Amino acid sequence: MRPVEVRRRPQQACTPRMQALARLPVFFDLDGKRAVVAGNGAAVAWKAELLSAAGADVEVFAEQPCEELRALAAEAPRAPLTLRHRAWRIEDLDGAAVAVGGFEDEAAAERFAAAARTAGVPVNVIDRPAHCDFSFGAIINRSPLVIGISTDGAAPVFAQAIRAKLEGVIPRGFARWAEAARRWRQAVQSSGLSLAARRRFWQLFAAYALHHPAHEPAQGDLEALLENTQQQGADIGTVTLVGAGPGDPELLTLRAVRALQSADVILIDDLVSPDVLDFARREAKKMLVGKTGDGPACKQDEINALMVALAKAGRRVVRLKGGDPLIFARAGEEIAACRTAGIPVEVVPGISAAQGAAARLAVPLTQRRDIRRLQYVTGHGADGRLPQDIDWASLADPAATTVVYMAKKTIGELAARAIASGLPPDTPAVAVAAATRPQETVIVGTVSNIGAKLAGSSLPGPVLVFIGRVFEHVKGAAIGMESVRAPRAAVRMM
């Protein structure tokens, strides 16, 4: 009997809530404002230098200023720095934008913080988090591009290590491009481009800057980017089919991340891990249009129509699919719908579920000498049943590795048919559920018993079944894997 289809309409998905923040990263505009610094020593001098570099008029209160402070006063990085050769007083805090103190004595630190808060001035007391309204963190300066890194005081050395890593991958030329963006913003605003076209301009700008960080931005670059934006017809929408990978968001490609960050609307399959959406543009509208086996499902024709309608309205549409969009994901129907409607369509490949699962097991899917073919088979036909036109002889080929997608309900029947076609019953078979995700589960068996093992289990997420001799030693590998990544995966030997 054909399974009853439960229909559902495309529905808006909620943007994932921001995870808890130890600190809110904010950037103060201190240009021309007064900053009070109290205390002495190299750490105090460093904070005073940061405040001057940010444009604040800095007053430092120190009875006997150290050499670093005296040198800083003589040559401040940006705004003037004035030394007051005395202790701070409560009235010194009046009208200050921020206050920073450095004290060896706890009571002195507490008194300074209390006075600043009474005066309504945000305060930072160096190395005393309990007395801080804000913290500085590690800074990467490509001004006007500025990046701050904070560990909430838990591991300053770790923050410094991350800063050093980022310093190496962010060219210093980005400062020139960030400054060019500031200079050109008004010209772009008054160019007559629509809102969608202006966003397209800045996407082209960012792409060019990333590829030419050492180039000095010039007026000709602005004119070329404006002309390119107009030629591309920014008001014409596009569709991009994006592979979200098997689940672990770290397996997203750079092109996938760029597509997600430039999307107006994201149409999401149920198999996509929610963590992937952390990389999406937060302003993008997110809609669930997926299918869940025998559960509620959106009609493919409705998905196609929605996708085309959104693109015709000028939206940049991302069709986000689990794994790779070209493997058992109905990409052909969606590409055809776009081409028929004259909508530009692009495909961003993703790491397939099979690749992700095999990588976690550390098992190569082919071997140079004796496993020379890799084949993907679906265990779920258009009617919800096992397809009857599978090449059963190919499943019995000892030189092949077979990956069965959507196998949870039909793997027993598929295995029986493969055995009847000559596949040895003791051929290794491995089922992987929720591959690469924290709840990943692995069940090891043979082709003769994998169906029964799956039927007796409750597995999370999508399930793949691997069949082939390359998995002969997967049990030992899985046990070792469990000990290495116990917090992330459950490996079940059944």
Residue from 452, 421, 444, 441 nearest 485 by CA:
441
The strand pairing partners of 98, in sequence order, are: 35
- Quick check: bond before 144 cis, omega within 30? yes
Distance between CA atoms of residues 111 and 475, nearest Å = 64
- Quick check: bond before 425 cis, omega within 30? no
SS3 state at 344: coil
The strand pairing partners of 371, in sequence order, are: 367
- Distance from chain centroid for Cα 28: 27
Residue corresponding to tokens 């190299």? 42
Distance between CA atoms of residues 356 and 193, nearest Å = 43
- Under 8 Å between Cβ of 109 and 129: no
C-alpha distances out from residue 314 to 226, 233, 285, Å: 18, 10, 14
Six token digits for residue 25? 């990263």
Pairing of strands 345-348, 265-268: unpaired
Please provide residue 374's backbone torsions phi and psi, each rounded to the nearest 5 degrees: -125, 125
Catalytic, out of 286, 291, 409, 453:
291
Q: Is 397 a catalytic residue?
A: no
Which residues are CB-contacts of 226 (< 8 A; sequence separation ≥ 6)?
Answer: 188, 191, 193, 201
Judge residue 493's burial from the number of C-beta atoms within 10 Å of its C-beta, 0-12 exposed, 13-18 middle, 19 or more buried: exposed
Judge residue 374's burial from the number of C-beta atoms within 10 Å of its C-beta, 0-12 exposed, 13-18 middle, 19 or more buried: middle
Q: Is 299 a catalytic residue?
A: no
Upper half-sphere CA count for residue 377 (Cβ side, 13 Å): 28
- Under 8 Å between Cβ of 138 and 163: yes
The strand pairing partners of 428, in sequence order, are: 446
Catalytic, out of 92, 269, 324, 397:
269
Which sequence positions are flagged as catalytic?
A: 269, 291
